[in-house]
Amino acid sequence: MTTAAVIVAAGRGLRAGGGEAKQWRPLAGRPALAHALDAFRAAGVGRILLVLHPDDMPRAAALGDGFETVPGGVSRDSSVRNALEALAGGDVAKVLIHDGARPLVSPALIARVRAALDTATGAAPALPVAEALWLGRAGRVRRSVEREGLYRAQTPQGFAFEPILLAHRAHPGGAADDVEVARAAGLDVAIVEGEEDNIKLTWPADFARAERILRQSGANGSGAMDLRTGNGFDVHRFTAGDRVVLCGVEIAHERALAGHSDADVGLHALCDAIYGALGEGDIGVHFPPSDPQWKGTASRVFLEHACARAAARGFRMGNLDVTLICEQPKIGPHAAAMRAAIAAITGLEATRVNVKATTSEGLGFTGRGEGIAAMATATLVTP
């Protein structure tokens, strides 16, 4: 049984300014929705559904992969129901329903709500109201309101899957959130401690506040810089030919490297290092050697994809380091060109890229001149 997340982002509200729906407005250089998506990926949620306005479906490609899309309805609760119906009949045991306009939700908060569902049918984050409350009309205070027991509701709101699906099917519509739907069906909902940074983007000033939070506390309001390191290793054997491609540089040689693409062992190892840092498998997952469309492809295409995946997740490259292991060809005369090639593909300063070489002292397949191996390390950082 698995946990699924439903991120609701089908609204067209323009109160936050910017001339477009707030979930698509840039926040720290990326769509606000991308930050919420990152948090659920980082929390290890097994299945993620984005509920989007039909007109926005083409924009989903800019958010990377690892999620499904569902068309939204005419209201928030109908959009949620569309997603729940899409999940029906599967192995989903728990579902977390989140507003895409809350981009700073943290993986820790997601984990708290998820854990609360081990002992409760429903769980939702909230913060107790600390300020004095008034009831007003026509710009005048009518009376004070007792704040004892009042909470500011947040998302994600989590539920056992089948009960919330049945609750949405039975609800007439018009609910403010999913807790209202759940309570109308008689479901018990536990209150989980919320987070002050888990703000909802509603007004123009909210974007300025969210930008400050991201700068001060790291991506997704997690309270710390997210630093990732990945390692990659690749091998290609020699075959007939008169040149090799290493780290994006073509070098004349008495033999070529065998491979489905251009067999650039250095860039392949570097791609694996980046995918490893992201927790997204290896190059074979994204570009299967069994797929004929990648035959003969320049490996810069693979590296560009790896970099785009990192950017979509909110990461920037800290530094990249590649070690080529071979007896021939000699790497030293070409190392500077290789660094420049990698820097050009990744957009990094050349000072953040290193390419070096070593031999295996005549030992093993590289020592016998049967092929070339490469190791790489990539450091990614956010924000």
Q: Given 221, 244, 269, which residue is the final one in a domain?
A: 221
Confirm if 157 and 97 have CB atoms less than 8 A apart.
Answer: yes
Whole-number pLDDT of residue 18? 57
Average pLDDT over residues 153-159: 98
Whole-number pLDDT of residue 11? 87
Same domain, 108 and 199: yes
Same domain, 210 and 258: no
Total number of domains in the chain: 2
Same domain, 171 and 252: no
**Tens of pLDDT along 275-321?**
999 999 999 889 988 888 888 899 999 999 999 888 888 788 889 99
Same domain, 215 and 275: no
Same domain, 216 and 260: no
CATH number of the domain that 308 lies in?
3.30.1330.50
Same domain, 344 and 370: yes
Average pLDDT over residues 373-379: 96
Look up residue 282 and give its DSSP letter: -
**Tens of pLDDT along 230-269?**
999 999 999 999 999 999 999 999 999 998 889 999 999 9
Whole-number pLDDT of residue 69? 96
CATH number of the domain that 176 lies in?
3.90.550.10
- Angular region, 120: left φ>0, alpha ψ -120 to 50, beta rest: beta
**Spatial CB neighbours of 25, under 8 Å, sequence gap ≥ 6:** 16, 17, 18, 31, 32, 201, 207
Check whether 9 has a pLDDT greater than 60: yes
Same domain, 209 and 262: no
**Tens of pLDDT along 160-207?**
999 999 999 999 999 999 999 999 999 999 999 999 999 999 988 999
Q: What mean pLDDT, rounded, does the chain reach?
A: 91
Same domain, 175 and 235: no
**Spatial CB neighbours of 346, under 8 Å, sequence gap ≥ 6:** 303, 307, 317, 320, 353
Tokens of residue 24, six digits? 């698509």
Same domain, 313 and 232: yes
Whole-number pLDDT of residue 106? 92
**Extended beta strands in the chain, E state:** 2-9, 26-27, 30-31, 47-52, 68-71, 92-99, 122-128, 133-137, 140-145, 151-153, 157-160, 189-193, 226-240, 243-246, 249-252, 255-257, 316-325, 353-358, 371-382
Confirm if 49 and 234 have CB atoms less than 8 A apart.
Answer: no
Tokens of residue 131, six digits? 């300020």
Please list the alpha-helical segments (H only) found in 117-194. Answer: 161-170, 178-184
Q: Given 200, 221, 242, which residue is the final one in a domain?
A: 221
Whole-number pLDDT of residue 119? 95
Same domain, 179 and 256: no
**Spatial CB neighbours of 191, under 8 Å, sequence gap ≥ 6:** 123, 124, 125, 126, 151
Check whether 134 has a pLDDT greater than 70: yes
Q: Given 193, 221, 249, which residue is the final one in a domain?
A: 221
Whole-number pLDDT of residue 223? 44
As a whole number of angstroms, the distance between CA 133 and CA 325 comes to 69
Whole-number pLDDT of residue 296? 86
Q: What pTM value is reported for the model?
A: 0.61
- Expressed as residue numbers, the domain containing 300 is 226-382
The length of the chain, given as a count of residues: 383
Same domain, 187 and 255: no
Same domain, 213 and 234: no
**Tens of pLDDT along 25-78?**
988 878 999 999 989 988 889 899 999 999 999 999 888 888 999 999 999 999
Dihedral sign for Cα atoms in the order 82, 84, 90, 92: positive
